[in-house]
Structure 1
Amino acid sequence: MTDLIKPFWWRCLLLVLATLYLLPEAIFNAQLVSLVGLGTPSAEDLEHLEIYGRAVSGVGVALLLADFLPKAMVAKVGRGIISFIALLCLVWPVVFFGQKYAIEKTLIEPSTAEQRQFATYSAALRDALAINSIKVNDLDYNPEQLHSSENLTFLALFGGLLYSDAALSDNLEQDKRKIIAAFVQKKAYQDFDKHYKNYSQLYDELVVKYKAYADGSKKYNSTLASIGEREQGYWQQVEQEINSGWNKYQQAQKAHIAKASARAQKYGPKIYDYHHSIAKCRERYDKSSEKDRRNRCYEREAADYRSTILKAGIGYIEPDYWLIEEDVSVAENAAGTILMGVLTGGVYTALQAASLATGGDGGFKDKRYKYTDDPDHYQLRFLQHPNFHKMFVSETGYPFTIENLMAFRAHETTQKKLRAHFASKGLELDSNWNVDQRQAFANAVATKVTSEANAQWQSEMRKRGMSLEPNLSWVAFQLHPQIQAKIADRMGDLYVKNIRADWNKKNFKDKVLDPNIAKRTDKYLAMLNSSEGKFADGGEYAEYGKQALRSVIIPPISMSLSLFLICLTFSKLPLKLWQLIKPKQEKQPTTAVSVLQKLIMPALILIVPVMFVHNTFTEDDQSPVNYFLDKVDESSNPVFSYAIRWTLHAQPLLHPLGLKFEEKLHIYENFSPMSHALAKVDILRHGDASLSAEQQQRRQYLVEQKTKLTITTNPANATIRIMNIGPKYRPGMTLKTGAYDIQVSAPGYKTYRRWHQVDAGEQTLTIDLSN
């Protein structure tokens, strides 16, 4: 069936959808030309471009096939919409996955090591030509108009043209180093201002870091300088503790005397009564026949005394302790002897003599004892009792008998209390330190303050993920290994050993850029000059070679296909519009005429650009471009050669239009989140298919090329995310080697987000957040 007999609404819908489809397809076409035409794109940019193009082309193919849906499937609106959605769901995955599968399985994976190595060289030459670091004889290439549509189209296809000439590598072998060196140098010098701007930003960042570091050093030095002042402050505490302790001691003495006085008032009369009662017992039962009654009287009074004195709280005290002791003089003893001798008629004197002869005292006494009811006597005896003294020691730690401040100051208990007090303040004194050792005290204070300064310094360094010593000069700060490591992470490939952030432009060129040019040249040449085996599956440069092959083969294919779809769709729009508005014809055209009508425009699209559109690069039959196109004929087939020639002529017409669409609509830019999502699906689509023995070996190699990534950062509560993958980050997680969009955030810090290239093996990234 033809569109002429399909419902009007269906033809209107296809016209609108086809018109809308042209917008994203034209944008893809323009982005492809611009991106590849300026040199080999990064893996991330190429992936985004590729997925976007495949997604759009899937829609384009579905729209083309929608023209061929039978009338019965679109007779009604509901049925037609369902039919179109079903067609889209069927066609879009086939086109989206099929394009990659076809290219990977037919061109990339089966490629030989030689093809990959040569593709790498072709990509390098294309990039060199893109920045005008090499000249191709007779090639009318105007580098001043690098961003012109014609130039970008030519450069986007140039890698594929170079790749078509198998003899090119041999012809340029002797000039290989010169070509690569010129390319690397021109690229580096071309980006000099950008590199130096980034380098200048590094200087600004380091200045901020050093200012914070210098402020920390100043604070550290200030803390150390305060040791003398801190020692004076601590020593004032020594004096305050001693004076305060002496005051407390005196208060404790007064309280102790008050306790003794209270006991004297309470127990003194009872003690007096005891001694008085004992005397009464002696008087009442003084006869020898009343001895037993006297003893029982003594026992009763002794029991009452014991019960009473224990209540005083200092244990049992012998009753004699309370007696008043008096000395008896010789004269008093002699007068007593004479008096008793007279009164007894000499009997007492004879008895004295007998007592002395037998070893007795002869009645002569040195001491005399008596008791009293004076409270002051009992207060003094309480204070003098050892148990009462022990009670004071247990309460205060000091004896009751310290008489002055000097004795209190020198007492060992005072030294212990001082040591304990300062230990609670973090000031450790030797176990045998005493208050007379002022220098030892000063040394302990110096040790404490120094330890505090070091701890504070180390804490600040840990917050910044560093362990620098204080007081480094600006130069020494920059050259410190930890700062150099941060600079290296910041500068990437441009880093050179012992780089400084304060070099001027000349120093930057001489010490950074030029050494990097030499290093990159050597690295590039080492890869190009390496044996083909390193580009074979499992080799060191296998994946790099495949990527280079993609960058030289895919752009011509994608550009030609995209351009053809655009032109084909665009060519059908006038016919579709005319079929909507033209009057109905009674006679329908024959099938042959109808087919002819549909084929005329595609044929014109394929012929007119090559025949009538002027192109600088193909107008001369002897030009290098025509030479390369002939090589394409020889290496592949005339159809592919014509497709490239047609693209060279047709593409410059469409490129500016696609750029304008993107400038206004930002479709390509806003597709980025969808691109990441489709990339995950893309990986899953091909990751679990059954593998042959050769594919198993290749997959094993890819596993070996994985990395274990750990990210360290200064805030302990930082959130780490890898934005271009699905799984959550965890330390030591296994990833494929490649570029990753890493974001680190934490409360109170600026969020960090940057792409990092992660190589094979165990890798650790240190990312410090700034406040």
Structure 2
Amino acid sequence: MSQPTTLRDALLPGASTAPRARDATPAPTAPQLPLPGLSTATLVGLILLTALYLAFELAFNARLLDVVGGGASADDVHHIEISGRLLSGIAVALVVLQGLLTWRARCVRLGRAATPRMGVVLLLCGLIVGGVYLGLQQLVDGIVASRSTEFRRQALNITLIQQAIVDGRVQLTGMEQDAGLYARPEGKAFLALFPAMAASVQELDRKIEHAKLTLIAEHVGHQAGGIQGYYRSYQQAMDGVAKQWRDYSKLGSANVDVEAEVAKQHRKAWNDYLSDLGKRGWTPSTVPGAYEGRVRQSVRQRVPVPSDWDLRDEAGFRAAVDRKVRSRFHGQVPEVKVRGQRIAPGLSQAAFTAHPAVQAELRDQLKLPAGTSVPLSTDAEGFRRQLYDPMRMARARTEAAKYNAPLATFADGGSNAAHGLDATRAALVPPIALLCSLLGAIGHLGKLVYLLCKLALRLAARQIPAAVQPRLGGAILLVPFVLAAGIWTTLSHMDNSVTTSELYQTLTAQTLQRNQADDAQQQRSLPLAPAIVNALHVVAVGQGYAYPYNEHLRVHYLQGITFGYRPKD
């Protein structure tokens, strides 16, 4: 029996009904490329942008450590904060840019009409930079403003100690007694973390009370440039007085003429007055009351005494003569005045310098307490005893009132609120910024390695079996997380001269204890205390290893970019 005719036989008469032999080799399959839709050029562009950002982030990280190690002022913290927020905005924008470019490329590949334009993508990234910048500003401001009045006052005292450590004016018990420690990266990292850790010390104000005035006085001296810097200020002030005296001495002859004329006219006018009264047998004290007005009117025709002038008032009479004579010389003979007081003519430079008005001006310039006498010249010991030490202690006593002020004055609207907020910002911003910078650097380093792996997989796609490519593409997604976790875990188990010190261990224990109490009070299901202590440890260790490379990058490859901070000489 014949086989039934197939549909193919009916449609194509004469075609062979024998079954086709299966091909020996399968048709080639197009390789599945990693990161679908993104071109190699786009990948390279993302790699370059990420590497460029990473360079600036690492350089910023080094500069941030310099801010702390150099004794950060409120202005320094403000400027470095601006750079940090901007870099954080760029970091987030780069992550979003990669996602948007991937989405855009996929839309183009699938032929979708609603494909976002490149200009829209870039505009969105710019908005993200601005949004993150403002968001971080609000976040930091919120953290600073939310601190209690007790924390604000404590931060003021902590930053005082921190500055003393930076200046080398105090040694911390339990810390390596190495003069160069705080100039090294691990020492600078400890200084950055010190305020956040010291805030956990119970009754810190009481514990430093006995040394507070000395610390403040030394801080005042440091702000003045030390004894040498203050001596330069003294020299500048005395140079100004010497110039005043030279100008004054040039006018000496003219001033003597005026003074002589005043004395001459006073004697003549007073003698004439007495002579007129004597003709009637009167003296200034015996003029009958009925005639006082007539006598006064007669005197006023020659001397501009007040209408209620007492006939016995020779000083007022002389003052009226003085005004009359000087009005005649007005505009012709200049006078030397200091702080509104006329300086008598003919004084030597020493006498001119000793004049009360000149001394008052010098005290203001040199910030000296009232009653201090500023000598024309002095030796080193006399300068310290007469000027430098009185200036330091007077200003220290004034400043101490701020450090010991009642807690209520640190509340919003209080007299010390601004000081407390500045100190809180100086205490909290550097450690937060260091942690965020370290996280950003680790995260984008992982992202850079991920993109490089993507590029390598793209370039080697034709040599890799198609079945393996999807698994490799999924595996490299784990690269950033594995790298970040590996770095963090490694740093968590490493130590340096700071983290092994007795003081660091004590502060860490108190920080853990205080944050555990906060966890219990807030009833947190996920305790923050261990995470906070671990983050402090990672920053303390990581900065010590990373700083030399980051600083080399900043100085030699980024033209010494300052990020708004310039150390004071």
TM-aligned CA deviation for residue 453 of structure 1: 6.2
1:477 and 2:477 equivalent? no
Aligned CA distance change for structure 1 residues 466 and 135 (closer, same or farther; 3 Å): same
Give, in angstroms, the shift of residue 556 of structure 1.
0.7
Contact 2:336 2:342 in 1 (8 A): no
Matched residue SS, 2:427:
helix
Higher strand share: 1
Find out whether 1:549 has 2:424 as its counterpart: yes
Cα distance, 1:95 vs structure 2: 1.7
1:181-580 alignment runs, 5 A limit: 181-182=214-215, 184-185=217-218, 188=221, 191-217=226-252, 220=255, 455-458=331-334, 468-480=343-355, 483-484=358-359, 486-487=361-362, 490-492=365-367, 497-500=372-375, 502-580=377-455
Mapped pair 1:609 → 2:491: yes
Do structure 1's residue 176 and structure 2's residue 213 form an aligned pair? no
Change in 2 beyond 3 A, CA 1:505/1:642:
same
1:177-229 Cα deviation digits (max 9, x unpaired): 324414533762772222222322333333333323323335655899999xx
CA deviation vs aligned residue, 1:500-547 (integer Å, no higher than 9, x gap):
463333232112221233234333433333322222222222221121
Please list the CA deviations of residues 391-421 of structure 1 after superposition, one character each: whole Å capped at 9, or x if unmatched: xxxxxxxxxxxxxxxxxxxxxxxxxxxxxxx
1:633 aligned partner: 512
Aligned 8 A contact 1:121 1:528 in 2: yes
TM-score by length of 2: 0.68
Instruction: Give me the whole-angstrom Cα distance separating, in 2, the residues matched to 1:633 and 1:541.
Output: 30
Determine the C-alpha separation between the residues in 2 that align with 1:103 and 1:576: 32
Letter in 2 for 1:54: R
Q: CA deviation at 1:558?
A: 0.7
Structure 1 position 55 matched with structure 2 position 86: yes
Amino acid at match of 1:177: H
Give yes or no for contact 2:335–2:342 (8 Å, CA) kept in 1: no
1:561 CA drift (Å): 0.6
| Cα distance, 1:158 vs structure 2 | 0.9
TM-aligned CA deviation for residue 645 of structure 1: 0.9
CA contact (8 A) 2:187 2:498 kept: no
Question: Contact conserved, 1:30 with 1:655, CA < 8 A, in 2?
Answer: yes
Change (3 A) 1:496 1:225: closer
The verdict on how the C-alpha distance between 1:96 and 1:207 changes in structure 2, with shifts beyond 3 A counting, is same
Q: What TM-score do the two structures reach when normalised by structure 1? A: 0.51
User: Separation in 1 of the partners of 2:205 and 2:194?
Assistant: 15
- Determine the C-alpha separation between the residues in 2 that align with 1:87 and 1:542: 39
Contact 2:190–2:540 (CA under 8 A) maintained in structure 1:
yes
In our comparison, the structure showing a higher alpha carbon Rg is 1
Distance across 2 between alignment mates of 1:218 and 1:654: 72
Alignment of 1:96 onto 2:128:
no
Larger displacement relative to structure 2 (535-544 or 488-497): 488-497
* Partner-residue secondary structure (3-state), 1:184: helix
Partner of 2:318: none
Q: Give per-residue Cα distances to partners, 1:274-316, cap 9 Å, x unaligned.
A: xxxxxxxxxxxxxxxxxxxxxxxxxxxxxxxxxxxxxxxxxxx
Q: Answer yes or no: is 1:599 the counterpart of 2:475.
A: no
Does residue 1:153 correspond to 2:189, yes or no? yes
Which of 65, 69, 78 is equivalent to 1:37? 69
How many angstroms apart in 2 are the aligned matches of 1:628 and 1:134? 17
Q: Tell me, in whole angstroms, the C-alpha distance in 2 between the residues paired with 1:458 and 1:143.
A: 59
Distance 1:102 1:12, change over 3 A: same
CA drift at 1:50: 1.6
Tell whether the 8 Å contact from 1:33 to 1:152 is kept in structure 2 after alignment: yes
Counterpart position of 1:132: 168
Q: Distance in 1 between matches of 2:209 and 2:148?
A: 22
Distance 1:611 1:143 in 2: 27
Give identity over the alignment, percent.
22
Q: CA RMSD in A?
A: 3.8
Q: Secondary structure at the match of 1:135?
A: coil
Question: Tell me, which stretches of 5 or more residues in structure 1 are unaligned?
Answer: 228-429, 431-446, 673-771
In structure 2, distance between residues paired with 1:116 and 1:584: 59
SS at match of 1:589: helix
Q: Could you list the runs of 5+ residues in structure 2 that have no partner in the other structure?
A: 1-32, 109-114, 263-301, 303-322, 516-528
Structure 1 CA distance for aligned equivalents of residues 360 and 39 of structure 2: 70
The one-character-per-residue Cα deviations of 1:154-196 (angstroms, maximum 9, x if unpaired) are 11211111012234445x1xx4132441453376277222222
Which amino acid in structure 1 is aligned with residue 514 of structure 2? S
- Residues 120 and 549 in structure 1, CA contact (< 8 A), matched pair in contact too: yes
Cα distance change on mapping 1:66 and 1:667 into 2, 3 Å: farther
The one-letter code sitting in structure 2 at the alignment partner of 1:580 is L
SS at match of 2:471: coil
Q: CA deviation at 1:467?
A: 5.6
How many angstroms does 1:648 deviate by? 0.5
Q: Which is worse superposed, 509-518 or 206-215?
A: 206-215
Whole-angstrom distance in 2 between the partners of 1:92 and 1:465: 56
Which residue is equivalent to 1:112?
Answer: 148
1:27, 1:662 within 8 Å by CA — same for their partners in 2?
A: yes
How far is the alpha carbon of 1:668 from its aligned partner?
A: 4.9
1:3 CA displacement: 4.4
Q: In 1, Cα distance between the equivalents of 2:442 and 2:194?
A: 23
- The aligned residue for residue 73 of structure 1 is 104
